[in-house]
Amino acid sequence: MSAITALFGEPTPAPDGSEVARALRQAASERILIMDGAMGTEIQTLGLTEEHFRGERFQGCECHLQGNNDLLTLTQPAAIEDIHYRYALAGADILETNTFSSTTIAQADYGMEDAVYELNRDGARLARRAGLRAQDKDGRRRFVAGALGPTNRTASISPDVNNPGYRAVSFDDLRLAYGQQLRGLIDGGTDIVLIETIFDTLNAKAAVFATLEVFAERGITLPVMISGTITDLSGRTLSGQTPTAFWYSLRHARPFSIGLNCALGANAMRPHLSELSGVADTLICAYPNAGLPNEFGAYDESPDEMAAQIAGFARDGLVNIVGGCCGSTPAHIKAIAEAVVGHVPRPGLQTPGLDTNTQARL
């Protein structure tokens, strides 16, 4: 035994993501997994003022920060951790970090580009700590999903109707911003990479590219979840894809799951989810809004109403992972978790004909 080994023990390999992938795969083969619900709705109930958003750190800042929910990770961390913890106790297996807008591109609206690394690192730490506290209480492992949002710019659509060739953001701008975001999330200990609320598939492709780059740089591979959003009744994403086209555009990422979130509520999501479930050879994830927004921009669907619709997804074998998006609360997640207990996960974990790499990821 060398002197170094005697002092520090046998060297152990740095975590490469394989343990998380195995544990998640195992859990998903046993039951339908539960994602948490909306962060924004819960933050709204706290009635936070500009002073709260600034916290001590940004007290004298020449800026307007109210509404920058991600910044609360740094200025009101206890409040954000408490929301994660309440979702974990409500039954969530997967806790989404409060990092939906934590890219330099989205934070430019608030002049907070310099805080992006910390927003992501600490965002993952808060979710992790809440998950560990919940695990201490009930013995069940929680997984942290580092959320990469779509940003507020589209790479394949012009925001200027008079100049259809114009783009407010390029693939490389997005790739670099997502890469920076992901390094923070990984340093904070995220288990999963969640590319979500995709309305422009080209933005998502930049996120996938950045993810694979950072995985190579770090020598790790974490499970990747991908979730699109279909915002109108045409049944297409904003960049014009049907659910089938959306899947084939992103299948090369070999995601742990593909799915839909946000948009119009569970009933409106159902036909699109059904289509996706019919074509995708990976796990299916669905976390809709709590119904349609009303005239005040709030969501009216009760926990029982929402849970009944999602139980329908489970009963019909469409899903492996379910949760809630805008308007959902811990009460919604609790009702959803209870409603899907006993339903078997969507079959297809061992789909014949898949290549071995894809099979290994399922």
The binding site for Zn ion (CB under 5 A) comprises: 262, 289, 325-326
E strands along the chain, which residues? 33-34, 94-96, 143-148, 192-198, 224-228, 257-262, 283-288, 321-322
CB of 146 to Zn ion, least distance (A): 17
- Cβ atoms of 42 and 83 closer than 8 Å: yes
- Residue 347 CA to residue 342 CA, distance in Å, equals 14
Closer CB to Zn ion, residue 253 or residue 269? 269
CB of 298 to Zn ion, least distance (A): 13
CB of 215 to Zn ion, least distance (A): 27
Closer CB to Zn ion, residue 83 or residue 362? 83
- Residue 254 CA to residue 273 CA, distance in Å, equals 18
CB of 243 to Zn ion, least distance (A): 17
Closer CB to Zn ion, residue 17 or residue 146? 146
Closer CB to Zn ion, residue 246 or residue 287? 287
Chain centroid, CA 176 distance in Å: 19
Q: What DSSP designation does 127 have?
A: H
Closer CB to Zn ion, residue 148 or residue 262? 262
Q: Which amino acid is at 80?
A: I
Tokens 């998950």, located at residue = 131
CB of 326 to Zn ion, least distance (A): 3
- Residue 315 CA to residue 309 CA, distance in Å, equals 10
CB of 299 to Zn ion, least distance (A): 9
Nearest residue to 68 (alpha-carbon basis) of 48, 96, 38, 45: 48
Closer CB to Zn ion, residue 207 or residue 326? 326
Tokens 């520090």, located at residue = 8
Tokens found for residue 6: 């005697």
